[in-house]
Amino acid sequence: MKNKTEEQSFIHDQKGRFIEGNELENFATKTLPERIKWIREELNKIYTDEFTVKKVASESNIISHQGLYNLENGETTRPRKTTVSQLAKYYSIPVEALYDINPLRFYLGKTYVEQQPYELLNAYYKLNVTMTLQNVEGKIIKENEVISNLDCLDIDYDELLEKNKLEVEWIEKRNINQNKRIKAITKLSNHGNEKH
């Protein structure tokens, strides 16, 4: 009996390419850190600015910006297999491509699971969102269940996520402006005290 992953078929987008022939042979000569860096840089060329170190770190939640930089530049001597495996999944490549001495041909680009029409019609999910406010020590001050078991489509989730990202950007900009104001007021206050 086949399991669910064996029954799934995958669709490759039109932007990517198969890594094979001379390109695969050249790829096979690289070390693990060099392979990870090359994969990300090639994806970033294909999908302009979608796979920068900063973006991969912030969107994947797998590794920090500094951690990925260190990993790609060979400064992490023994990277965790789980981290490498999760990066391979995020990059939509087989993890064997990063570890095997002679990796097999693989697709470099975005890959999607092909859904059957009946799956698309019935693709409802349960959405749960909880917001937590913590102080600088990490102690929870407030915690609210914002959304509980809401029936939604995949696209609803994506739209809600995008709107939340915009809200977060707005809050971050407000914080930056507030910090500038505080520094300016402090500077003026200190300057005024020096005159007296």
If asked whether residues 73 and 128 sit together in one domain, one would say no
Give the percent of the chain with pLDDT over 70.
Answer: 87
Residues of the domain holding 124? 117-152
The two structure tokens encoding residue 131: 């917001």
If asked whether residues 65 and 108 sit together in one domain, one would say yes
Q: Tell me how far apart the alpha carbons of residues 123 and 4 are, in angstroms, rounded to a whole number.
A: 16
Q: Tell me how far apart the alpha carbons of residues 34 and 71 are, in angstroms, rounded to a whole number.
A: 9
Q: pLDDT per residue over 65-105, tens digit each?
A: 999 999 999 998 788 999 999 999 999 999 999 999 999 99
Q: What is the CATH number of the domain that holds 45?
A: 1.10.260
Q: Tell me how far apart the alpha carbons of residues 176 and 161 are, in angstroms, rounded to a whole number.
A: 23
Cβ atoms within 10 A of the Cβ of 164, count?
11
Q: For residue 31, what pLDDT band results from cuts at 50, 70 and 90?
A: very high
pLDDT (mean) for 46-53: 94
If asked whether residues 14 and 82 sit together in one domain, one would say yes
Q: For residue 19, what pLDDT band results from cuts at 50, 70 and 90?
A: very high
User: Mapping DSSP to helix (H, G, I), strand (E, B) and coil, where does residue 49 land?
Assistant: coil
If asked whether residues 105 and 47 sit together in one domain, one would say yes
Cβ atoms within 10 A of the Cβ of 128, count?
11
If asked whether residues 51 and 141 sit together in one domain, one would say no
Give the percent of the chain with pLDDT over 90.
Answer: 44
Task: Indicate if the pLDDT at residue 5 is higher than 50.
Answer: no
Task: Indicate if the pLDDT at residue 1 is higher than 50.
Answer: no
Q: pLDDT per residue over 104-143, tens digit each?
A: 999 999 887 665 554 555 567 888 888 888 888 888 888 8
The answer to whether 46 touches 109, Cβ cutoff 8 Å, is yes
If asked whether residues 137 and 48 sit together in one domain, one would say no
Q: For residue 17, what pLDDT band results from cuts at 50, 70 and 90?
A: very high
If asked whether residues 16 and 104 sit together in one domain, one would say yes
If asked whether residues 139 and 164 sit together in one domain, one would say no
Q: Please state the pTM of the whole predicted model.
A: 0.55
Report in angstroms the alpha-carbon separations of 173 from 23, 62, 166, 191.
43, 25, 11, 27
If asked whether residues 148 and 100 sit together in one domain, one would say no
What's 24-40 look like in SS3? HHHHHCCCHHHHHHHHH
Residues 6+ apart with CB under 8 A from 46: 15, 16, 17, 108, 109
User: What residues does 78 pair with on adjacent strands?
Assistant: none
H helices of 8-78, where? 21-28, 32-46, 53-60, 65-72
What's the number of domains the chain is made of?
Answer: 3
If asked whether residues 19 and 89 sit together in one domain, one would say yes
Q: What is the pLDDT of residue 114?
A: 60
Residues 6+ apart with CB under 8 A from 53: 40, 65, 68, 69, 72
If asked whether residues 16 and 101 sit together in one domain, one would say yes
